[in-house]
Amino acid sequence: MMLKKIGKSITIVNAIAFTIVFLVGGISIYLTKEILHNAYKIEDLSKDIIEVDSIHSDAYRLVLSMHHFLLREDETFVHITSVLSELKGKIERYLESESDEYIKGENSEIALLKTVFEHVDKLTVVNDLIDEFNRTGKLDKDKLLSMEEHAYSIEVITADINKIHIEKINWWTNESLSNMWAILFMYLFFFLIGGVSIYAGHIALLKNLVRPIKELASATLEFADGKYDRRVKTDLETEIGQLYQSFNSMAEKLQENDEFLRKFNEELEIKVNERTGELLKTNDQLHRTQNALIRTEKIAAVGQIAAGVTHEIKNPLNSLSINAQMLMRDLTGKLEPDSAVHESANLIRYEINRINNILEEFVKFAKFPEPQFYDNDINQVISEVVELVSESAKKSGVTITVSCQSDMPIVKFDARQFKEVLLNLCQNAIRAINNSGSLNIESAAEKNNVIIKVKDTGEGIQEKNLDNIFSPFFSTKEGGMGLGLSIVQRIVESHGGRIRCSSQVGSGTTFTIFLPIERG
């Protein structure tokens, strides 16, 4: 609607401007034509003035000639006749050129011309007087003097005629000047009107069209740059106003969609993270279950082997032990106690004992007893273990520190088995400390678990070994069975708990046990 209005207004303004230009042009041409016309008239009048002035001069010359003749009464009369005929001829020519005016009717100039002609007519008598003078040699001076008056009158009247001519010239000049002023005034007036109209139109277009469109364009660019909260405001009730409203509602819808998409993406990301976490957990669980299964299989195999080997080895070993004892008894008193035979017999006994111990470890490992769950205090177990290892720790230069939470909950667990767990961990820790170091045992209750930490400042475990330390028969120690941590893990897991190990070579190792407070 607004654009239609603007289009219509522009057409009307153009039509008005065209009409004004046409009218001003027309009037200017007309006035210029008048000025030209006046110029021609002035030109004609100037010629008339010259002619009348010439008549005036001739009349003057005639008067002078008459005076001469009157004074001298000599040949100078020739001048009178020639000037008179010239004057007459000029007046006749002039009257002829002014015949149009003459026909048009009376006016003051024509009336004066007529009088001039009458005086000329009367002057012709001068010729008769001169003729008479030529013939008789006598001059009628009074008559000539009266004729002089006619010549003088002609002189005066011609001066009056030229006065009229000059007045007319003045009048036409003024008229031309007025026309010029009118043209100038019209030009300036319409120039001013045109300028003001153009300025007003420019302001109106700027306010109603250019600026709003510019703002809309910049808002669109900002919107495209991702500034979805950009809105535009206007009081215009035109198509531009409608455009603004459309932009705002479009922006609102797009912002809503963007918000929805953002939320959807966030939720999706959370869900993906959750699922990934779950998957990782499941994977970890699977991994652990797999490891546990392998371990269980290994343990079962070890159990079978242990049972068989023990059965097969135990009897010959017993007979070897008895025979060695008998040999020792026989040799006692017959040979020196520090003889080579005595030494060999002792070595045999020592090695038989070592094999026996290994077999017992095997059997213990294979016949893993079910834990006996009773209400127990873990801090109590810790202090018993510390007492057991304090001597060997002292010897190895290891300082033991204990930091136990005082109000620990009473938990159902097998105290004997847990004693074995902590003993194993502490012995390993002391062995890992070469010269001097510290062993720290901590206990705390956290959420659903009792947490026990065994930290040492020993040699640490290489990263590649961390996955294997809980496997049976894995050992980095010379003569190590590699069953200790495997038994520890079995005990902890049979209590529904977990054991984790973190270690840094050169800094030390920490074993963390999570023992559930409530058994599921």
Per CB under 6 A, residues contacting ligand ADP are: 428-429, 432, 456, 458-459, 461, 469, 474-477, 480-486, 509
- Among residues 201 and 482, whose Cβ is nearest to ligand ADP? 482
Give the CA diameter of the chain: 230
Compute the chain's Rg from CA coordinates.
73
Using a 10 angstrom Cβ sphere, with 0-12 exposed, 13-18 middle and 19 or more buried, the burial of residue 378 is: buried
Least gap, CB of 386 to ligand ADP (angstroms): 16
Tell me which H or E stretch contains 401.
strand 398-404
The CA–CA distances, whole Å, from 85 to 128, 148, 156, 333 equal 13, 15, 19, 209
Using a 10 angstrom Cβ sphere, with 0-12 exposed, 13-18 middle and 19 or more buried, the burial of residue 298 is: middle
Tokens of 130: 């001169």
Which residues in 336-358 are b (16+ Cβ under 10 Å) and which e? eeeeeebeebeebbeebeeeeee
Least gap, CB of 501 to ligand ADP (angstroms): 8
- Among residues 59 and 421, whose Cβ is nearest to ligand ADP? 421
Alpha-carbon gap, residue 504 to 499, rounded angstroms: 17
- Among residues 484 and 497, whose Cβ is nearest to ligand ADP? 484
Tell me which H or E stretch contains 455.
strand 449-456
Alpha-carbon gap, residue 393 to 440, rounded angstroms: 12
CB 434 within 8 A of CB 458: yes
Least gap, CB of 473 to ligand ADP (angstroms): 9
- Among residues 190 and 368, whose Cβ is nearest to ligand ADP? 368
Least gap, CB of 316 to ligand ADP (angstroms): 26
Least gap, CB of 439 to ligand ADP (angstroms): 9
- Among residues 66 and 485, whose Cβ is nearest to ligand ADP? 485
Least gap, CB of 413 to ligand ADP (angstroms): 21
Tokens of 330: 């026989």
- Among residues 323 and 436, whose Cβ is nearest to ligand ADP? 436
Alpha-carbon gap, residue 194 to 328, rounded angstroms: 142
Q: Nearest residue by C-beta to ligand ADP?
A: 484
Residue corresponding to tokens 């009037």: 27
Least gap, CB of 481 to ligand ADP (angstroms): 5
Least gap, CB of 479 to ligand ADP (angstroms): 8
- Among residues 117 and 474, whose Cβ is nearest to ligand ADP? 474
CB 386 within 8 A of CB 440: no
**Spatial CB neighbours of 246, under 8 Å, sequence gap ≥ 6:** none
- Among residues 104 and 354, whose Cβ is nearest to ligand ADP? 354
